[in-house]
């Protein structure tokens, strides 16, 4: 692998890229079908979070449509500033037009009260912002980065997107999460192995009120762990005044050995956490959905 250094107005970021990957015939077929969706389109607005899924959609849309595709990122307190910056750098690398809009889900008590369908109200706010924007700018419709695996999880936001006519090209052609990574690597995108980073509101158990202060506290905690050198999946779950850190179960020993625990503890307490724990079960995406009977 060799590093790629991206120059941006934000900072220099070095990515590692390896293009030495061969795709199976079924996956090549999925990529062809994905491209065909955009070939049949006129102009496309991509709901672009900067995550690996929506970035793949933005890449393929740009490759097919060029300047007839645009990526729009919604900024709110539930998005880490570093993740917004990464989204901007990635869009610049791809070449796609990119804009940032503000969303205001925090003013909706149906969202901040954190019910089990919180994501529905988040996506409603997002697409109630993007749909009229697409119409105003002359884009035919909005697409998102939903993949085939997402359809198997509890994701009430999917319904909100459907109600507003959003298309999900990855899910339509059956591209799974691991296939998203394979296609991203195949297309030369340096962030193909980037960890998933859902919105910060997903760090709170259902029923615990979400506030800007709490989002900032969790965001600061996760950013600290990144700044301390942790690479890969990590979550800081907020359970009242307790921070529960999750890393992959096979990396628990690495975390305890390599992280400066005293510095971590002192910093977390300065953010407002009274106690800090390490989840011995290990990281698992969507773990808080275990409490839902569905």
Q: What is the pLDDT of residue 10?
A: 38
**Which CATH number does the domain housing residue 145 bear?**
3.40.50.620
On whether residue 118 sits in a domain, the answer given is yes
pLDDT single digits (tens) 110-165: 999 999 999 999 999 999 999 999 999 999 899 999 999 999 988 999 999 999 99
Q: What is the pLDDT of residue 248?
A: 96
**Are 280 and 159 members of one domain?**
no
On whether residue 169 sits in a domain, the answer given is yes
**What six digits make up the tokens of 265?**
């503890």
pLDDT single digits (tens) 217-275: 999 999 999 999 999 999 999 999 999 999 999 999 999 999 999 999 999 999 999 99
**Chain position carrying tokens 């060029």:** 66
On whether residue 269 sits in a domain, the answer given is yes
**Are 172 and 207 members of one domain?**
no
Q: Which of the residue ranges 100-114, 219-233, 277-291 would you say has the lowest mean pLDDT?
A: 277-291
| CA–CA dist 116, 207 (Å, integer) | 8
Q: What is the pLDDT of residue 18?
A: 47
CA atoms within 13 A on the CB side of 292: 16
**Are 54 and 169 members of one domain?**
yes
**Are 147 and 90 members of one domain?**
yes
**Which CATH number does the domain housing residue 272 bear?**
3.30.300
Q: 132 vs 4, which has greater pLDDT?
A: 132
| CA–CA dist 51, 168 (Å, integer) | 15
| CA–CA dist 13, 8 (Å, integer) | 8
On whether residue 194 sits in a domain, the answer given is no
**What six digits make up the tokens of 69?**
């595709």
- Residue range 273-280: mean pLDDT, rounded: 96
Domain boundary among 186, 212, 238: 186
The residue segments making up the domain with residue 154 are: 2-186
Question: pLDDT class for 291, splitting at 50, 70, 90?
Answer: low
Chain centroid, CA 63 distance in Å: 21
Name the pTM for this structure: 0.89
Q: 248 vs 293, which has greater pLDDT?
A: 248
Segment holding 251, helix H or strand E: none
Domain boundary among 153, 186, 219: 186
pLDDT single digits (tens) 8-17: 333 334 444 4
CB 76 within 8 A of CB 104: yes
Number of domains in the chain: 2
| CA–CA dist 249, 239 (Å, integer) | 20
């Amino acid at each position: 692998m060799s590093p790629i250094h991206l120059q941006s107005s934000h900072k220099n970021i070095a990515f590692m890229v390896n293009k030495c990957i061969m795709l199976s015939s079924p996956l090549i077929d999925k990529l062809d079908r994905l491209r065909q969706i955009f070939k049949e389109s006129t102009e496309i607005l991509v709901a672009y979070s900067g995550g690996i899924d929506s970035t793949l959609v933005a890449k393929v849309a740009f490759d097919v449509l060029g300047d007839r595709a645009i990526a729009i990122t919604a900024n709110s307190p539930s998005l880490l500033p570093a993740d917004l910056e990464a989204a901007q750098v990635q869009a610049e690398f791809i070449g796609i037009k990119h804009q940032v809009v503000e969303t205001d889900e925090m003013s909706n008590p149906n969202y901040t009260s954190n019910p089990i369908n919180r994501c529905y109200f988040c996506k409603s706010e997002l697409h109630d912002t993007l749909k009229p924007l697409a119409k105003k700018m002359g884009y035919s419709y909005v697409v998102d980065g939903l993949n085939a695996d997402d359809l198997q999880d509890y994701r009430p936001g999917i319904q909100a997107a459907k109600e507003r006519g959003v298309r999900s090209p990855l899910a339509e052609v059956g591209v799974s999460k691991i296939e998203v990574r394979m296609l991203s690597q195949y297309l030369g995108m340096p962030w193909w192995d980037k960890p998933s980073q859902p919105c910060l509101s997903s760090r709170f158990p259902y029923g615990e009120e979400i506030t800007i202060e709490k989002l900032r506290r969790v965001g600061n905690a996760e950013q600290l762990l990144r700044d301390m050198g942790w690479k890969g999946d990590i979550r800081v779950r907020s359970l009242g005044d307790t921070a529960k850190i999750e890393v992959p179960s096979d990396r628990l020993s690495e975390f305890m050995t390599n992280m400066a625990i005293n510095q971590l503890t002192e910093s977390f307490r300065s953010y407002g956490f009274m106690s800090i724990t390490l989840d011995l079960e290990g990281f698992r995406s969507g773990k808080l959905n275990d409490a839902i009977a569905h």
